[in-house]
Amino acid sequence: MSNRELSWLSFNERVLQEAQDSSVPLIQRLRFLGIFSNNQDEFIKVRLADIVRASKSKDKETAKFSGNYTATELLTAVNQRMSEIREAFSQTYTEILSEMEKQNIRIINELQLNKQQETFCRNYFSSVISPEIVPLILQKSRGMPFLSDENIYLAVKMVIKKKHRYAILQIPVNSSCPRFVVFPSTTSGNEIIFSDDIIRLCLNEIFFMFNYKEITAHTFQLVRDSDFLFADGISENIEENIELGLYRRLHGQTVKLIYDGEMPADLLNLLVTKLNLTENENLFPGGRYHRMRDLMQFPKIRKDLEYVNPEPLRQQDTTPLSGMMKVINTKDILLNYPYHTFNHFIDFLKEAAIDPKVNSIYITLYRAAEKSKVINALINAAKNGKKVVAVIEIFARFDEKQNVEYAELLQKEGVTVIHGVKGKKVHGKLALVRRKNKGYAYVGTGNFNESTARVYSDFGLFTSNPQVVADAASVFDFLQNINTCFHCKQLIVSPFDMRKRFEEEIKHEIQTAQNGEKAFIYAKFNNLTDQSMIKLLYQASCAGVEIRLIVRSACCLQPQIPGQSDNIKAISIIDQYLEHSRMIIFHHSGNENVYIMSADFMSRNLNRRIETGILVTDKQIKQTLKDIFDIQWKDNVKARNLSSLYENRYVEQTEKPLRSQSELYKYFLEL
Query: Which residues are designated catalytic?
Result: 427
The b-or-e profile of 170-189 (16+ CB within 10 A means b, else e) is bbbbeeebbbbbebeeeeee
- Rounded to whole angstroms, the Cα distance separating 544 from 69 reads 30
Distances from the Cα of 313 to the Cα of 319, 350, 449, angstroms:
11, 19, 17
Please tell me what DSSP assigns to residue 189. Answer: B
Nearest-5° angle of CA 418, CA 396, CA 14? 150
CA 667 to CA 631: how far, in whole Å?
A: 9
Angstrom distance (rounded) from CA 1 to CA 525: 17
Q: Are 459 and 334 in contact (CB under 8 A)?
A: yes
CA 212 distance to own-chain centroid:
46
Q: What is the DSSP letter of 305?
A: G
- For the CA atoms of 322, 324, 326, 330, what is the dihedral angle to 10 degrees? 120
Residue 355, judged by CB atoms within 10 A of its CB (0-12, 13-18, 19+), counts as middle
- Strand order from edge to edge, sheet including 152-160: 136-138, 163-171, 152-160, 214-224, 254-260, 283-286
Q: Edge-to-edge strands of the sheet including 105-108?
A: 105-108, 190-194, 180-182
Q: How far is CA 200 from the centre of its chain?
A: 33
Report which DSSP code applies to 128.
Answer: I
β-pairing, 583-586 vs 163-171, is unpaired
Residues 6+ apart with CB under 8 A from 557: 1, 2, 528, 534, 537, 538, 549, 551, 565, 568, 570
Rounded alpha-carbon distances, angstroms, from residue 31 to 96, 160, 201, 298: 11, 41, 26, 7
Task: Please report, for residues 7, 41, 78, 201, 226, the alpha-carbon distance to residue 281 in angstroms, rounded to integers and kept in the order given.
Answer: 21, 16, 11, 33, 18
No. of helices (H) and no. of strands (E), the chain: 19, 29
CA triple 204-207-213, angle to 5 deg: 70
What is the spatial distance between Cα 597 and Cα 583, in angstroms, rounded to a whole number?
Answer: 6
Q: What is the Cα–Cα distance from 620 to 443, expressed in whole angstroms?
A: 17
Helix (H, G, I), strand (E, B) or coil at 528: strand
CA distance 226 to 220: 19
How far CA 60 is from CA of 47, 52, 363, 414, in Å, comes to 16, 10, 43, 50
Helices (H), 285-430: 324-330, 343-354, 373-383, 400-412
Q: What is the distance between the alpha carbons of residues 469 and 491, in angstroms, rounded to a whole number? A: 9
